[in-house]
């Protein structure tokens, strides 16, 4: 893989910059962490060389100074909001985050439930956490938020919220996803800290948009594509331009809320420590891009992937036309087309040749391998076996799984487990390959190639079942699908 980002430089520069910011605020800083903290796959895709856990590793360099507060909205608990990338609910993800942080030696101080209004589901989650020995604090909805600053910054506003007890100079506020109330939690804490005589500070750590690269740079356009459902728009920070005469990039929500934040800071601490939304940030990622062309191309590919994802959602009935239109516009702005994703024409050509669903994968060295649907295997499973044989140097005519071994599995699926599709899904194919590996050296050699699939690109000519989508995700393969059902099936 071509590298466009210096990860080690990023870890050093970012941790040093955060230390400097802590020192500017009387040794107490509330740092709002936007995006994913230890599994930022979007960043790793658009900035090749950025490791998905880079932000976590950076934080580990500050582990002696940092504690983590995880924020979750009671409204999200109540409606069982799901993380789309992992398929788990936000409350379950809080538990996953706690385990992930503590296993790395980071200190999780507490959980804060925001927008609390007595929801039974939130009460149950609170009790569950407390039984585990995790302190839980409650923050409430405030009428007129965020405009009514007189009420918000008062004993009837932030003053009603629980004061979160913290013990370290750096308090990282993170959450399972957007809209959880991270910023409000930080500001509520500032209110309580200043009432206690502690001159605490606030800063924001958002990886995207990157403030010191051009507004229409593909990396920043890819961020807009990733947040098309939130209708985020990148824009020049007018406050920074006016204060410093410097053009920087921020996004609409931060720019729109900044006058309100200024008013809140003035009420809490007497003055606003920042002149612009860009000032609030501590992101050093833009300084660590070492090959701009590599990052631009990776970002164009990401926008294409986001387009296919939005089209699938639209066809499935869970998406919106506005999202599709927005990403189509971003494709044009990034000077990208769907044909730039080489696996797309390859899979469509294979489908045309065979008359059935097909799939294609691009290997790290640029080779394109395809797979077709057969009586025994779905196109994704056929593709998987073809790729593993190619990587292992096995003749494609050789069977690494005997057809006689596949047929009993098909009988089990259809006759006993109620499946209407006799063809093997990818997970079933990998299990069958594992069993064959016990006696077949070729199967064992093929199985050993699985780690090489991480980072590869794939496309299928039809939308897949959730089982196959999950298999691609677990193997680390970046998948896109044509936005159409196989044989007009409406349920996958």
pLDDT of residue 134: 97
Q: Cα–Cα distance between 474 and 386 in angstroms, integer?
A: 18
Q: Cα–Cα distance between 356 and 462 in angstroms, integer?
A: 9
* pLDDT over 50 at 41, yes or no: yes
Per-residue model confidence as pLDDT tens digits over 381-405: 999 999 999 999 999 999 999 888 8
Query: In the structure, what pLDDT confidence band is assigned to residue 36 with cuts at 50, 70 and 90?
Result: confident
Sign of CA dihedral 208, 213, 215, 218: negative
Q: Cα–Cα distance between 19 and 123 in angstroms, integer?
A: 37
Query: In the structure, what pLDDT confidence band is assigned to residue 34 with cuts at 50, 70 and 90?
Result: confident
Q: Distance of CA 144 to CAs 73, 149, 191, 283, Å?
A: 18, 8, 18, 31
Q: Distance of CA 226 to CAs 233, 294, 305, 351, Å?
A: 11, 19, 10, 29
pLDDT of residue 85: 67
* pLDDT over 70 at 463, yes or no: yes
Q: Distance of CA 337 to CAs 166, 313, 325, 342, 460, Å?
A: 50, 20, 14, 11, 17
Label residues 187-221 b or e (16+ Cβ within 10 Å = b): bbbbbbbeeeeeebbbbbbbbbbbbebeeebbbbb
Q: Is 461 exposed, middle or buried (0-12, 13-18, 19+ CB in 10 A)?
A: buried
Query: In the structure, what pLDDT confidence band is assigned to residue 147 with cuts at 50, 70 and 90?
Result: confident
* pLDDT over 90 at 39, yes or no: no
Structure pTM? 0.88
Contacts of 190 (CB under 8 A, 6+ apart): 30, 200, 201, 202, 265, 268, 269
pLDDT of residue 232: 84
* pLDDT over 50 at 108, yes or no: yes
* pLDDT over 70 at 62, yes or no: yes
- What percent of the chain has pLDDT above 90? 81
Domains identified in the chain and CATH numbers:
7-221+230-288 (3.10.630.10), 345-488 (3.40.140.40)
Per-residue model confidence as pLDDT tens digits over 319-355: 999 999 999 999 999 999 999 999 999 999 999 999 9
Task: Name which of 126-130, 390-394, 421-425 the model is least confident about.
Answer: 421-425
Per-residue model confidence as pLDDT tens digits over 206-264: 899 999 999 999 999 999 999 898 888 999 999 999 999 999 999 998 999 999 899 99
Query: In the structure, what pLDDT confidence band is assigned to residue 488 with cuts at 50, 70 and 90?
Result: low
Sign of CA dihedral 47, 53, 58, 61: negative
Per-residue model confidence as pLDDT tens digits over 182-194: 999 999 999 999 9
Higher pLDDT, residue 257 or 487: 257
* pLDDT over 90 at 4, yes or no: yes
Question: What are the DSSP E strand ranges found in 297-446?
Answer: 358-362, 368-372
Q: Distance of CA 29 to CAs 167, 170, 361, Å?
A: 11, 5, 46
pLDDT of residue 242: 97
Q: Distance of CA 158 to CAs 161, 231, 447, Å?
A: 5, 28, 57
With beta carbons less than 8 A apart as the criterion, state whether 251 and 214 touch: no
pLDDT of residue 37: 77
Query: In the structure, what pLDDT confidence band is assigned to residue 489 with cuts at 50, 70 and 90?
Result: low
Q: Rounded mean pLDDT of 451-476?
A: 94
Query: In the structure, what pLDDT confidence band is assigned to residue 87 with cuts at 50, 70 and 90?
Result: confident
Q: What mean pLDDT value characterizes the chain? A: 93
Q: Rounded mean pLDDT of 425-437?
A: 94
Let me know how long the chain is: 492
Q: Cα–Cα distance between 388 and 449 in angstroms, integer?
A: 6
Q: Cα–Cα distance between 215 and 222 in angstroms, integer?
A: 11
Q: Distance of CA 125 to CAs 108, 135, 346, Å?
A: 17, 12, 48
pLDDT of residue 492: 47
pLDDT of residue 481: 97
Rg of the chain on CA atoms, in Å: 25
Query: In the structure, what pLDDT confidence band is assigned to residue 416 with cuts at 50, 70 and 90?
Result: confident
Per-residue model confidence as pLDDT tens digits over 464-486: 998 999 999 999 999 999 999 98
């Amino acid at each position: 893989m071509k590298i466009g980002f210096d990860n080690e430089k990023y870890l050093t520069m970012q941790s040093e910059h955060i230390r400097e910011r802590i020192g500017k605020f009387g040794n107490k800083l509330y740092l709002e962490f936007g995006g994913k903290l230890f599994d930022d796959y979007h960043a790793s895709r658009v900035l090749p060389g950025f490791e998905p856990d880079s932000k976590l590793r950076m934080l580990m360099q500050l582990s002696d100074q940092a504690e983590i507060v995880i924020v979750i909205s009671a409204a999200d608990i109540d409606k069982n909001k799901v993380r789309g990338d992992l398929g788990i609910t936000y409350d379950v993800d809080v538990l996953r985050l706690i385990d992930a942080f503590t296993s790395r030696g980071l200190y999780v101080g507490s959980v804060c439930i925001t927008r609390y209004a007595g929801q039974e589901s939130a009460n149950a989650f609170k009790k569950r956490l407390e039984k585990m020995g995790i302190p839980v604090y409650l923050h409430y909805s405030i009428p007129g938020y965020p405009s009514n600053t007189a009420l918000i910054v008062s004993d009837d506003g932030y003053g009603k919220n629980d004061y979160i007890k913290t013990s370290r100079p750096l308090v990282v506020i993170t959450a399972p996803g957007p809209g959880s109330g991270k910023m409000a939690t930080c500001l509520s804490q500032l209110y309580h800290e200043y009432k206690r005589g502690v001159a605490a500070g606030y800063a924001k750590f958002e990886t995207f948009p990157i403030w010191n690269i051009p507004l229409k740079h593909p990396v920043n356009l890819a961020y807009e594509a990733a947040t098309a459902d939130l209708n985020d728009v990148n824009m020049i920070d007018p406050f920074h331009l006016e204060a410093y005469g410097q053009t920087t990039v921020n996004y609409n929500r931060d720019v729109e809320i900044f006058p309100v934040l200024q008013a809140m800071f003035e009420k809490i601490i007497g003055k606003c420590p920042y002149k612009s939304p860009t000032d609030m940030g501590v992101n050093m990622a833009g300084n660590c891009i070492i090959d701009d062309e590599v990052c631009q191309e990776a970002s164009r590919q990401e926008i294409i992937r986001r387009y296919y994802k939005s089209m699938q959602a639209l066809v499935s009935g869970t998406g919106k036309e506005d999202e599709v239109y927005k990403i189509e516009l971003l494709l044009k702005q990034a000077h990208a087309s769907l044909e730039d994703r080489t696996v797309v024409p390859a899979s469509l050509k294979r489908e045309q040749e065979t008359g059935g669903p097909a799939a294609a994968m691009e290997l790290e060295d640029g080779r394109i391998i395809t797979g077709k649907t057969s009586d025994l295997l779905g196109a994704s499973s056929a593709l998987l076996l073809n790729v593993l044989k190619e990587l292992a140097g096995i003749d494609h005519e050789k069977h690494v799984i005997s057809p006689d071994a596949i047929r009993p599995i098909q009988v089990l699926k259809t006759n006993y487990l109620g499946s209407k599709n006799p063809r093997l899904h990818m997970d079933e194919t990998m299990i069958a390959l594992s069993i064959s590996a016990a006696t077949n050296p070729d199967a064992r050699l093929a199985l050993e190639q699985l780690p090489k699939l991480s980072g590869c690109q794939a496309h299928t000519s039809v939308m897949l079942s959730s089982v196959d989508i999950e298999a691609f995700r677990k193997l680390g393969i970046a998948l896109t699908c044509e936005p159409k059902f196989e044989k007009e099936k409406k349920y996958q």
